[in-house]
Structure 1
Amino acid sequence: MSEQTRVQGPASYFPSIEQRYGKPVSHWLELLASLGERKHAEQVAWLKAEHGMGHGHANALVAFHRTRA
């Protein structure tokens, strides 16, 4: 993969998130959407506490989710 086609930013974590937690990214984004208007840090903390997700993975999902909203 060349430098120009390499995925960057939060989406670069998606393959490892799917592999580690066994669910597609769409699953996690749907869960985040169901949380409503919680703050970024609250969403990250929820993924970590309720789903055992690491901070980097949770933060990447929340950051991506919030840029889509």
Structure 2
Amino acid sequence: MTEAPIKGPASYFPSIEKKYGRPISEWKAEVRALYPAKHMELVTLLKDEHDMGHGHANAIVAHTLAEDGLK
């Protein structure tokens, strides 16, 4: 039996780790350190401070906020 493919924001995680060289746990910690900033403020910070693409930044922020019940 094969495992179901990962869907949603988490599907970006392997490529984010490969491209930016940091584990997702570090990116999530960085997002959490900026609470109570809003979703798009967090996305913009990742884009501006780390030259991250919009899709990757949005995936990290969306997954972190949902995981913390803030979505």
With the shorter chain as reference, the TM-score category is over 0.9
Equivalents in 2 of 1:41, 1:34: separation in Å?
A: 15
**C-alpha deviation, 1:32, in angstroms:** 0.3
Q: 2:20 maps to what in 1?
A: 21
Aligned length: 67
**C-alpha deviation, 1:5, in angstroms:** 1.1
Q: Percent identity?
A: 51
RMSD (Å) for aligned C-alpha atoms: 0.9
**C-alpha deviation, 1:53, in angstroms:** 0.4
TM-score after normalising by structure 1: 0.93
TM-score after normalising by structure 2: 0.91
**C-alpha deviation, 1:64, in angstroms:** 0.1
Equivalents in 1 of 2:32, 2:38: separation in Å?
A: 12
Equivalents in 2 of 1:36, 1:7: separation in Å?
A: 27
1:36 equivalent to 2:35? Answer yes
**C-alpha deviation, 1:36, in angstroms:** 1.2
